[in-house]
Amino acid sequence: MEIKYSANSQVRLDIFLSSYLHISRSQILNLIKHQLITINGNVAKKAGVIIKENDIIKVDTLALDDNLSYSVDFDIEIIYEDDDILVINKPPYIATHGAPSLKESSIVDWLKANNKQLSNISGEKREGIVHRLDKQTSGAMVIAKNNVSHSLLSLQLQNKTMGRFYIAVIDAPLKSDMLIECNLSRNIKNRLKISKSAVGRYSKSRFYKLLLSKDSKTELILAKLYTGRTHQIRAHLESINRHILGDSLYGYKGKDMRVMLHSYFLYLEHPKNGKISFFANIFDDMKSYLENNFDMEMISEILSNLSFSNLINDI
């Protein structure tokens, strides 16, 4: 399909095509990812590129006919939503935002496909994203729906009034509750990894023992982040020769599964309503593992009795 833009005003490519073709901006983004849109003979690389009068836009018609190929084929549980923030329970196996190497849809794609109002401080590919979770990590995430909320939440990340507690299953029990502080930087031998180093960015995590598995070989733990470095929990555990089940990148050598890490509890100060907190339900794959290998009644009792208000202040 060839379209000649004839208006005098300038407009973003995704906004124009979404209106012209009556499809979502998420679908436009997917067409761009697959190099199926050109402007004046050049492949469009960004959804936010500005088009102007007399520009010739070509869209792959066959791709348009196959709408299912470019739709978001998953749904996400909304924990809380108002005019300022959205809190979701992120499923595993979904990236937070797009990247050049990413072919499948991301959390941002889902947000756009569902017409969520989003902040745009972080740029087009990261609209609404204040903090991220690794692709295989599940759990609570907060999304900013406007720039004021985004700025306030970002400040909270810096001054520690917003934070997360994670639950994870590790391949060997901790000797005791522990605090880990170290510098982290990109691993010299494997650029996909983050490792403890003499230089780099300061990081701090606290780990709490929760419950041993039935065979006492693995353990459910709680992790509190004081800083938000990439792969921080995974790198800190590797530094003490512990590994999250499924985390082969950081040294887990057991059964093939997704990384058993879940953002369980999120706390923050709402831009208008003060302190607020959220729990994120554990997903079926992790729940199934826990049911088969742990005493679920004990887990439920331990989690329900945790005093997060005290743990937040545990420095």
End-to-end CA distance of the chain: 60
Three-state SS for 123? coil
Q: How big is the chain by its Cα radius of gyration, in Å?
A: 22
Query: Nearest Cα to 164, choosing from 93, 77, 228?
Result: 228
Alpha helix locations (H) across the chain?
13-21, 25-33, 61-65, 107-113, 147-159, 232-239, 284-293, 296-305, 308-312
**What length is written for the chain?**
315
Q: Return the amino acid letter for 129.
A: I
Whole-angstrom distance, CA of residue 64 vs CA of residue 188: 44
How far apart, in whole angstroms, are the C-alpha atoms of residue 229 and residue 300?
29
**Spatial separation of the C-alpha atoms in residues 286 and 284, rounded to whole Å:** 6
DSSP 8-state class, residue 245:
T
Tokens 């060997």 correspond to 172
Count CB-CB contacts under 10 A for residue 80.
Answer: 14
Q: Which of 14, 84, 109, 134 is catalytic?
A: 134
Residue 127 near residue 120, CB atoms below 8 Å: yes
Which whole-number Å values give the CA distances from 267 to 31, 67, 133, 150, 219, in the listed order?
37, 38, 15, 15, 25
In the annotation, is 134 catalytic? yes
Q: Give the residues across from 183 on adjacent strands.
A: 197, 202
**Residues with catalytic annotation?**
134
